[in-house]
Structure formats: C-alpha cells, structure tokens
Amino acid sequence: MTGTTGDTLATLGRLSPAVREALRTECARLADEDDAEFGVRLLAGTPTHEGRDPALLRRWATAATEFGAGLTGRARLPQPRVVERTGGIERLLLARYVSRPAPAVELFTDTLALGEELVDLLGWRGWYPAGALRAAAMAHEDAHRLLHDDAALKRALRERLGHTALRFGRFRIAAHVAGADELAAHGYAAARRGLGRSPLLLTAALASAVRALAQD
Amino acid sequence: MGIVIILLMLAGVGLMLTRKLPTAFALVLLAVAIAAVVGAPLTGENSIVDTVLQEGAVAQAATMLAVLIGSWMGKLMAETGIASTLVRKIVEFGGDRPTVVALGVLAVSALIGTVTGSAPAAMMAGIIGIPAMVAVGVPKTTAAGTILMGIAAGMPFELPIWQFFSTTLDLPVDTVRGFMLKLFPFAAAFAVLFVLVETRRKGVEHAWSLAAPAHDRRRDRARQLGDAPWYALLAPLVPLVLALGFELAIIPSMLAGVLYALVTTTRPREMNKRLLRTLYRAFDIAAPPIALFVAIGILLAAVTLPGAVEALNPLVTAVSPGHPVVFVVVFALLTPLCLYRGPLNVFGLGAGIAGVLISAGIYPAVAVLGLTASYNQVFGVADPTSTQTVWAAQYSGVSPQQVMVRTLPYVWCVALGGLIVTAATQL
C-alpha cells in the first residue's frame, strides 16, 4: 500500500460514525439503481440534451455503453505515458487523458486510493476487485484515445446511436450525441476489467464520499 | 494646469484599479474635479452643473438606448431558445471534432456579439457552448477563450458600439461603420487562428470527473422551451442586414431584430407578455453599461471644456507621436494599458483621453476612432476585470488571468492590425 493510500485511509477514517453510516446508506441507495440509470443521468447533465425524453437518453446510454464494451476485442494501444498526481479529490478528478504535448494519462492517486477504501467500506469488492479502479481508469482513457484517433470508430458510434442532425430525402447526417463517448469509455473500462458494476456507480459513490468528507 | 489634470487622471485610475470606487463613480468624480481645477463656473455656459453634469449625463443617450435594445434582444434570444439552439446544432453537426465544434461555437459567439456585448453575450453563447466544447475535449482555457474571441469578432458589427463611437467621437455612423468593416477581417482572422492554433497546441482533454452535472437556471429554462425553429435562428442577422446592407438607422434596425425574434418564436397571445417581461429584464442587464455611459458622457463634457482643452493641449501635443510608423509602434506598445481598467480603456478614462486627443486637434477624430476601436478589441477579450472575461473563465473553471495570457497575443495582433489601418489611412 502506498503512502498516499495510507493518508487517505486516515482521511476517511476521520468520518464520524453518523456520517459514515449516512454515506453507507446513500451508497446503498445508489447501488439499488440499475447501471443504465447512471448513464441517463450523465447524458441528462450534458449540455445539448436539455428537454430530451428520458427514454431516448436511456436508449442512447445503453447503446453507447454496449458500443464501448464491444471495443475490447480491438488491438491494444501502445502503453501511454502515465503521470501520477495528487490533488484529484480537491479537483474532483479521478483520471485525465491529454493529447498534448504528448499523449498521456494522468492518474490522481488520492482519488484512486479513496475509491479503493470506499469499496472496502461499502463491501463492494465483489464488483470492484483490488486495483480494479486504477486499471479501469487506464482502460477508460485508452477508450478515449481509441475514439480520438479513429474517425471511423467515431462515425460507427454516431451510427449506433442513430441520432439525426439533418435529413434531406435519403441523405442523412448522423448527429453527435454529447457525452456518448464518455459512456463508451466507461463501458469499455467495465468490460475490459471485468467489473461487476458500471464505473459510474463507483463515481457517484466517490462523489458522495467527497461530499461527506467536506461536510464532516 | 495640464499637469494637475494629468495627476487627477492618475488618481482616478488609482481609485479604479484599487477598486476604492466603481469605475462610473470614479469617472464622475474625476470630471467634476477637472471642471473645478480649470475654473469652470458652477452654473451657466461651460459650467460644472449645466454643461458637465446636465449635458454630459445625457450625451450618450442614443448609446444607452442601443445598449438597452441590444440587451432586450439578447434576453429574447435566450428566453426563446434561439441562442441555445444555435449552439446545440453546432455540437450535433461537428461534435466529435473538437476544432470543428470550437469553430462553430466561435461563429455563434460572433453572431451573438453583433447583438449585445459583455457578460450577457458570453452567457448566451457560453452557458451551453463552454460545457459542450469541454465535453468534446476542448481544454477549459481554450473553451473560455473561444467564446470571448468569438464575441470580439462580432464586436465590429455590434450596433450599440457603432452608436457609442459615433456619439463619443462626434463622427457620422457611416464613418464608424467604414472603419469597423476594415477592423473586422483582423478580428475574425485572429479569432479563427486562436481556435486553430490553440486546439492544435493544447490538443484534447478528457477527464473522468466526480463532479455532478451543474444545474443552471438558464439550462432548466431551455429544457422547458426546446429548440427554436430554424428560421428564428436568423434573428441575430436581422439588425445587421438592415444596418449594414440597407443602411437603416441603428435603433430601428435593432427593434426589427427584436420583433423578428418575437414573431418567429412566440404564439400571438403570449407576445405582449414576453415582450414586456424580456424588456424589463433587459433593464437589469443594461444597467451597468448605462451607468458607465452616463459617467463617460460627464467625463467627456469635462475634458472638452475650453479651459481643459487649453491646459491639456501642449502636454498631449508633446507626447503624441505624429509619424505614422511611430504612432503604430507607440500605441501598439501601450496596448496593455487598456487592461485592468487602465487609462486607455475606452469604457473608462480612455474615453476622456480620446476626447482630449480630438478636442486638442492632435489627431483627426477618425484616427482616434481607429485607436480606441483597436484597443476595445483587446479589452473585450483579455481584460481580467471585464465582466465577460471573468464570467467565461469562472464558468470554465479557470482563472481570468489564464484566459488573459492565452488570448492576449491574438488580440494584441488585432489591435496592431487596427492601428496599422488607422495610420495608413488617416495620418
């Protein structure tokens, strides 16, 4: 276990019993939701989807997640440069892919450590094995690299979602669905790392944990 | 006496920079002080009360009305979903190519920038445009800069700005329009260059974030309204086509835009209510610039008093470059003085300096137009104290200073272009 993890354990350990119990209850409620619902929420909160039918968002969320899961059979990308940072909890970041100056994946070790501890606290190890969050973060950013580098893949995602920007007789331009690539990346990460539940569930639980830490 | 006025101006800048006084109050105080030291009588001709305060306060009335109508149209475009639909369509068409989306948002921002300016324009384009750009991988500082550069690209066609320069510099609107047409290619070219260079230089970013989607009242409102019809999206072009193409006066052109936005989006029985509601809300938006225009009018009246002109003439003549090349070099180097509410900010003390330059006969009014309009392109984008820059930066999650550093080289070039055009054609 790294020093950072130890620090974070101490941080979560500082939660009062009442706040910890409230966090457990909140996360149990999150776990009762089905995975697609988290996708719907992500899309609903993404600009350009104001006023969209929730059923349509659910269809898009499911299609994008499945599309991402289907990418696991593709050839592996070369290992990117990995940069480990702290300060993720403060900035509410778990990982980040940057394409310049050179493609790199930034992993926020404090957030990852908090995630691991949270999984233990909530008894979610069956869904998220030890070290799975870091691996999922790498896979998630791999998916962004795949989509970023491959125009045909991006086109295929648009076609899978079936949203139309412009139709003129038989001529049709498939519309970009903002947020779909993020869901595809989560779908890819879950499938690639064999997670029992969507990474979005753990993301929501982590957000609750950070709020609890801030309140306590 | 000229030195005393300069010292008073420096004190005014100090008050504004240190935020001891709001800009508008500082300008009024400065105006009264200048009038007093040049020996203006309390009442009567060229006096403090009748000339500086009374005539000066209403000197910019046409500009104030144009700003109010611009805000009204902006409010209408926001409430009817015209602005959000424009941005949404851009994202849907160009979505997985960050540069295309940023260029699209830039174009929409420019269109909105022709209608209204400042923070309301940034909000109209940015509320959806900024998170939409970030969602497709555009880095946050680039996203904020894109909105601001877009608005600035539209600024040469912002009709209230035409009215402002026309009134302030006592120039016909035709002359203002003529210069703005020459300035526009620089503003547009460097705005496009900003997007192309910065999206390439900074690449894309995708974050696995814990942040819950932000709830915004405007977005909730857009949720209720849905998309505006395609023909309503032409609304921002209506005033522009009328004023530029048909040379119609500014206020009627803008009123026509308001009417077009209304009739293309609103059921007849709801028109009266919506028109009044958006007009009243526009007063809130327009209040800060209107207060500033009252103060600018007062300051201009003070610095153009005969006593002030007489006192400042030798000083300003001594330091103002006459040779076109020196004019360009000196004023290009002084460009940063329009930042942080500095002395060359045309919506502050810069208006007073412009008044001095004209009334003292240092430069022809049209050259002062070139100078101030060029500086305005810098102030409108890169000033970390201007409301649109602060809003766009904070909404993107970066600091206004980061936006300033990223955008300043581009807008400095725009100003340089404007100064070169001015020197080549007017000196």
* The pair of three-digit structure tokens given for residue B411, joined into one six-digit string: 């807008």
Work out the average pLDDT over A153-167.
90
pLDDT for res B247: 86
Whether a cis peptide bond, with omega within 30° of 0, leads into B289 is no
Cβ-contact B108, B92 below 8 angstroms = no
Phi and psi at A98, nearest 5°, equal: -125, 135
Mean of pLDDT over chain B? 88
Using a CB-CB distance cutoff of 8 angstroms, which residues of chain B are in contact with residue A41?
213
Question: Percentage of chain A surpassing pLDDT 90?
Answer: 59
Q: Which two tokens stand for residue B160?
A: 């209230």
Rounded to the nearest angstrom, the minimum Cα separation between A130 and chain B is 19
Q: How far, in Å, CA of B196 to CA of B202, rounded?
A: 10
What is the pairing mode between strands A164-168 and A104-108? unpaired
Between A50, A94, A175, which is nearest B92 by CB?
A175
**Cβ contacts (< 8 Å) between B93 and chain A: which residues?**
165-166, 173, 175-176
Please write the tens of the pLDDT for every residue from B359-404. Answer: 888 899 999 999 999 999 998 899 887 888 988 998 888 898 899 9
A and B: number of Cβ contacts within 8 A:
121
d(CA B104, CA B110): 10
CB–CB contact A111 B210 (8 Å): yes
How far apart, in Å, are the Cα atoms of A159 and each of A144, A174, B240? 18, 6, 38
Give the residue-averaged pLDDT of B27-33.
92
| Residues B281-303: tens digit of each pLDDT | 999 888 888 998 899 899 989 98
Burial A14-30 (b: 16+ CB within 10 A, else e): ebeeeebebbbebbeeb
Q: Identify the helix (H) or strand (E) that includes residue A81.
A: strand A81-85
Q: What is the pLDDT of residues A6-40, one digit of tens each?
A: 444 447 788 888 999 999 999 999 999 999 999 99
Alpha helices (H) in A14-124, listed in sequence order:
17-32, 35-44, 54-69, 88-91, 109-122
- Tokens describing residue B75: 């409010």
Please judge whether A185 and B88 are an interchain contact, meaning their C-beta atoms are less than 8 angstroms apart.
no
Encoded tokens for B352? 């007073």
Q: Looking at residue B265, what DSSP letter applies?
A: T
H/E element, B384 = none
What's the rounded Cα separation, in Å, for the pair A164 and A166?
Answer: 6
The contacts of residue A59 (CB under 8 Å, 6+ apart) are none
* Predicted pLDDT at B238: 92
**Nearest Cβ partner of B223 from A51, A175, A207?**
A51
Separation of alpha carbons B324 and A161, rounded Å: 59
* DSSP string over B109-162: HHHHHTT--HHHHHHHHHHHHHHHHHHTT--HHHHHHHHHHHHHHHGGG-HHHH
Instruction: Report which DSSP code applies to A194.
Output: T
The verdict on B137 touching A (C-beta cutoff 8 Å) is yes
Query: Domain residues of chain B, as ranges?
Result: 2-203+216-426
What number is the ipTM of this complex? 0.87
**pLDDT digit string (tens) for B41-69?**
999 999 999 999 999 999 889 889 988 99
Q: Which of A44, A163, A178 sits opposite B132 (nearest CB)?
A: A178
CA dist B420 → A173, B155, B256 (Å): 44, 19, 35
Q: In chain A, what residues touch B203 (CB-CB under 8 Å)? A: 98-101
Kind of pairing between the strands at A93-98 and A104-108: antiparallel
% chain B with pLDDT above 90: 49
3-state percent helix, strand, coil for chain A, nearest multiple of 5:
60, 10, 25
Mark yes or no for CB contact A92/B91 under 8 Å. no
Please list the residues that pair with B60 across neighbouring strands.
none
Residues of B in contact with A46 (CB under 8 A): 131, 135, 213
> Is 50 exceeded by the pLDDT of residue B219?
no
Is B211 part of the contact surface with chain A (CB cutoff 8 Å)? yes
What is the C-alpha to C-alpha distance for residues B237 and B235, in angstroms, rounded to an integer? 5
B144-161 per-position pLDDT tens digit: 999 999 999 999 999 999
A97-149: per-residue pLDDT in tens?
A: 888 888 889 999 999 999 999 999 999 999 999 999 999 999 998 898 888 87
B209/A98 touch (CB, cutoff 8 Å), yes or no: no
| pLDDT for A5 | 41
- What residues of A are in contact with residue B95 (Cβ under 8 Å)? 175-178
Compute the distance between CA of residue A213 and CA of residue B99 in angstroms, rounded to an integer. Answer: 38
Q: Which residues of B392-427 are buried (b: 16+ CB within 10 A; e: fewer)?
A: bbebbebebebbbebbbebbbbbbbbbbbbbbeebb
Reduced to 3 states (helix: H, G, I; strand: E, B; else coil), residue B209 is strand
Amino acid at B186: F
Residues of A in contact with B94 (CB under 8 A): 176
Question: Which residue in B209, B223, B227 is closest to A93 by CB distance?
Answer: B209
Task: Check whether B353 has a pLDDT greater than 90.
Answer: no
Contact A47 B131 (CB under 8 A): yes
Taking the mean position of all CA atoms in its chain, how far away is CA B253? 19
Q: Residues B118-135: what's their mean pLDDT?
A: 83
Q: What are φ and ψ of residue B204, in 5° steps?
A: -115, 160
Asked if B94 has any chain A CB less than 8 Å from its own CB, the reply is yes
Count CB atoms within 10 A of the CB of residue B224: 9
CB-based contact B395:B144 (threshold 8 Å): yes
- pLDDT of amino acid B86: 87
Contacts of B219 in chain A (CB under 8 A): 47, 50
Q: Which residue has the higher pLDDT, B374 or B5?
A: B374
What φ, ψ does residue B206 adopt, rounded to 5°?
-130, 125
Residue A62's SS3 state is: helix
Of the candidates A41, A46, A51, the beta carbon closest to that of B135 is on: A46
Q: Residue A61 pLDDT more than 90? A: yes
In this prediction, residues A165-187 reach a mean pLDDT of 89
Question: What pLDDT does A189 receive?
Answer: 94
Q: pLDDT band at B212, cuts 50/70/90?
A: low
Residue B35 host element (H or E): helix B23-37
Give dist(CA B149, CA B128) in Å, integer: 16
Calculate the CA B347 to chain-centre distance.
Answer: 9
Is A176–B91 a contact, with Cβ atoms under 8 angstroms apart? Answer: yes
* Cα of B193 to nearest chain A Cα, Å: 18
